[in-house]
Amino acid sequence: MGAGHAHRLYVPGASPVHRLPPQCKIVAVLAFVLAVVATPRERVWAFAAYAVLLGAVAVVARVPVRLVLRRVVIEAPFVAFAFLLPFVADGPRVAVLGLHLSENGLWGAWNILAKGTLGVVASLLLAATTEPRVLLLGVERLRMPRLITQIAAFMLRYVDVVTAELQRMRVARAARGFRARDARATRVLARSLGALFLRSYERGERVHLAMLSRGYSGQMPVLADVGATRAQWTAAAALPLAAALVAAAAWIVA
């Protein structure tokens, strides 16, 4: 239980991006993604500019591009949806490679792919340069209620424990010759899930008692505070400001 919880997305480092306070980075990423989402989809050059901006951040943060690309597949289900769009969308049709595709649908697919991918990459860079625990501190700094961040902290703290338990159950099932073939397997899987819930909840009860015995009164002690200076806010604002310029240009320039 005391094992280190090095996060899969987090890339340890001491780059300028790593050193920025988490709340600055969260606001920057959110503002950046909002600018991307608000950009008209026909301005293809604007999305190229956004990609360059993110690339610059990745270079400064020394995050391997390979890692980012590997994680982008997380949006795969929506990519599939995007590829369906040109076939089902309404409006005038154009011929592409002998297929009659909806022009609107093509733009729609491009819109989702471009904005979705930029959003994922921005979030990935945030997660890659900020430790999960610190990220939660940043969220708390942004006036998120303490209780929410506490719940999230407990979840993060124990998610590996609970997942490992699920994994052990999987191994135990496999050792007994179980393979999920069809819907009849659901009964077995649900039993595991029921047991997993009981173990998680009872662990929660034990954790609570252990905390009470250490003087817990509903508040978690603040161990490290992460204040941000004006210079740090300014540095973090570079990305969203550049993105806002691009978005403004995209709206003005035809």
Partner 1 sequence: MGVHVPDGFIDAPVSAGAGVVAVAGVALALRGARRELDDRTAPLAGLTAAFVFAAQMLNFPVAAGTSGHLLGGTLAAILVGPWTGVLCVSVVLLVQGLLFADGGLTALGVNIINMAFVTVLVGYGLFRLLLRVLPRTRAAAAGAAFAGAVVSVPAAAVVFTGIYALGGTTDVSIGKVAAAMIGVHVLIGIGEALITALTVSSVLAVRPDLVYGARGLAKPLELRPEPATV
User: Which residue lies nearer to partner 1 by CB, 79 or 235?
Assistant: 79
User: Which residue lies nearer to partner 1 by CB, 215 or 231?
Assistant: 215
Rounded to whole angstroms, the Cα distance separating 161 from 145 reads: 25
Other beta carbons within 10 angstroms of residue 122's beta carbon come to 22
Report the chain's terminal Cα–Cα distance, integer Å. Answer: 58
Taking CB under 8 A as the rule, does residue 96 contact partner 1? no
Encoded one letter per residue, x for contact with partner 1 by CB under 8 A and - for no contact, window 27-46 reads --xx--xx-xxx--x-----
Taking CB under 8 A as the rule, does residue 89 contact partner 1? yes
Rounded to whole angstroms, the Cα distance separating 101 from 109 reads: 11
Taking CB under 8 A as the rule, does residue 91 contact partner 1? yes
Q: Is residue 122 within 8 Å of 130, Cβ to Cβ? A: no
Instruction: Tell which phi-psi region holds residue 98, choosing left (phi > 0), alpha (psi between -120 and 50) or beta.
Output: left
Rounded to whole angstroms, the Cα distance separating 34 from 36 reads: 5
Query: Using the rule CB under 8 A, which residue among 21, 23, 53, 111 binds partner 1?
Result: 111
What part of residues 117-176 is at the interface with partner 1 (CB under 8 A)? Answer: 118-120, 122-124, 126-127, 132, 135, 139, 145, 147-148, 150-159, 161-163, 165-166
User: Which residue lies nearer to partner 1 by CB, 133 or 231?
Assistant: 133
User: Which residue lies nearer to partner 1 by CB, 211 or 229?
Assistant: 211
What part of residues 172-231 is at the interface with partner 1 (CB under 8 A)? Answer: 180-183, 185-187, 189-198, 200-201, 203-205, 207-208, 211, 216-218, 220
Give least dist CB 93 to partner 1, A: 12
Encoded one letter per residue, x for contact with partner 1 by CB under 8 A and - for no contact, window 47-76 reads ------------------------x--xx-
3-state secondary structure of 101: strand
Which of 49-57, 59-67, 116-124, 237-245 is the region at the interface with partner 1 (rule: CB under 8 A)? 116-124
Listed residue (86, 63, 79) closest to 117, CA to CA: 79
User: Which residue lies nearer to partner 1 by CB, 60 or 119?
Assistant: 119
Angle made by CA atoms 149, 151, 155, in degrees to the nearest 5: 110
Rounded to whole angstroms, the Cα distance separating 209 from 162 reads: 19
